[in-house]
Amino acid sequence: MSDSNLKSPPFVPSSSSRKLPDFKQSVKLKYVKLGYHYLITHGMYLCLSPLLAIVAAQLSTLSGQNLVDVWDQLKFNFISVILCSTLLVFLSTVYFLTRPRPVYLVDFSCYKPDDLRKCTRQIFMERSQLTGTFTEQSLEFQRKILERSGLGESTYLPEAVLNVPPNPCLAEARKEAEIVMFGAVDQLFEKTSLRPKDIGILIVNCSLFNPTPSLSAMIINHYRLRGNVISYNLGGMGCSAGLISIDLAKDLLQVHPNSYALVISMENITLNWYFGNDRSMLLSNCLFRMGGAAILLSNKRSEGWRSKYRLVHTVRTHKGSDDKCFSCVTQREDSTGRIGVSLSKDLMGVAGDALKTNITTLGPLVLPMSEQLLFFATLVGKKLFNMKIKPYIPDFKLAFEHFCIHAGGRAVLDELEKNLQLSDWHMEPSRMTLYRFGNTSSSSLWYELAYTEAKGRMKRGDRMWQIAFGSGFKCNSAVWKALRTINPDKEKNPWMDEIDQFPVDVPKVSSI
Burial of 216 (0-12, 13-18, 19+ CB in 10 A): buried
> Pseudo-torsion of CA 57, 63, 67, 68, nearest 10°?
-170
Q: For 381-386, which contacts have Cβ atoms below 8 Å and span 24 or more sequence positions?
A: 383/29
Q: Phi and psi (nearest 5°) for 491? A: -95, 150
Annotated active-site residue 169? The verdict is no
Least Cα distance to 12 among 107, 116, 145 occurs for 145
SS3 category, 503: coil
Q: Phi and psi (nearest 5°) for 333? A: -95, 145
Alpha-carbon span 205 to 247, nearest angstrom: 12
Confirm if 312 and 120 have CB atoms less than 8 A apart. no
Annotated active-site residue 239? The verdict is yes
| DSSP letter, residue 288 | B
| DSSP letter, residue 236 | S
Annotated active-site residue 439? The verdict is yes
Alpha-carbon span 341 to 378, nearest angstrom: 41
Annotated active-site residue 222? The verdict is no
The active-site residue, picked from 402, 404, 419, 475, is 402
SS3 category, 119: strand
Q: Is the link from the previous residue into 168 a cis peptide, with omega within 30 of 0?
A: no
SS3 category, 203: strand
The active-site residue, picked from 119, 239, 325, 404, is 239
Alpha-carbon span 87 to 93, nearest angstrom: 10
3-state DSSP of 400-415: CCEEEECCCCHHHHHH
The active-site residue, picked from 205, 285, 325, 406, is 406
Residue 33: CB atoms within 10 A of its CB come to: 12
Residues facing 310 on adjacent strands = 104, 481
The active-site residue, picked from 205, 233, 318, 419, is 318
Annotated active-site residue 402? The verdict is yes
Confirm if 406 and 239 have CB atoms less than 8 A apart. yes
Alpha-carbon span 109 to 117, nearest angstrom: 19
The active-site residue, picked from 272, 277, 439, 476, is 439
Catalytic positions, please?
239, 318, 402, 406, 439
